[in-house]
Amino acid sequence: MNSINLNISFEQYSGIDELTEKDRTLCQQAEQALATSYSPYSKFRVGTAIRLASGEIVLGSNQENLAYPSGLCAERVALFAIGTKNPEAVIESMAITAQTDHFEILKPVTSCGGCLQVMIEFERKQQSPIEVIFYCLNGEILKVPSVKSLLPFAFAEDRLER
């Protein structure tokens, strides 16, 4: 038997003012994406902004449905839009934020497992890391250099590519 430890590295910021201008802009765009959230059931709005290598920023927001499994998270909305509109685009970074009127969110909200699997697929396809910024409005920010560190056991079966 082997015992293996997994460690991840990330940066922690106390607020948006500590970020570079480029990252601050991405977080502000994610915040703007909250306005397009369709979340009448949970009242939990999520917005994401994705910066492509071209400099273009693509926004996404969560889209709920009365039949809960039929909705989509903000990350997947934005990623699938990129895959449809510009499948060869290289993603540099993405910022994710959330907001609700029911309570104050005090810590950054992280992506669900389904979104992480989709994010890792884009990272794998482009063969370069995607930086992820989890942005808590008026609070702490976590910045991870690669999606792979968030889902080290992502489903990957190379034989399916044949």
Domain ranges of the chain: 11-155
| pLDDT for the residue 69 | 86
Q: Tokens for 38?
A: 């369709």
Instruction: State how far the Cα of 15 lies from the Cα of 23, in Å rounded to an integer.
Output: 12
Instruction: State how far the Cα of 80 lies from the Cα of 105, in Å rounded to an integer.
Output: 27
Query: What is the amino acid identity at position 134?
Result: F
CB-count exposure of residue 161 (10 Å: 0-12, 13-18, 19+): exposed
- Confirm whether pTM is higher than 0.85: yes
Decide which of 3.40.140.10, 3.30.470.10, 3.40.50.300, 1.10.3720.10 is the CATH code for 11-155: 3.40.140.10
The structure tokens 């400099």 sit at 55
| pLDDT for the residue 38 | 98
Instruction: Give me the torsion for CA of 64, 65, 70, 71, rounded to 10°.
Output: -10
Q: Which of 29, 26, 33 is nearest to 131 (CA)?
A: 26
Q: How many residues does the chain have?
A: 162
| pLDDT for the residue 160 | 67
Which stretches of the chain score pLDDT less than 70? 157-162
| pLDDT for the residue 159 | 63
> What radius of gyration do the chain's Cα atoms show?
16
| pLDDT for the residue 162 | 60
Query: What is the amino acid identity at position 154?
Result: A
Q: Which residues pair with 96 in a beta bridge?
A: 48, 134
| pLDDT for the residue 142 | 98
Q: Which of 7, 99, 95 is nearest to 46 (CA)?
A: 99
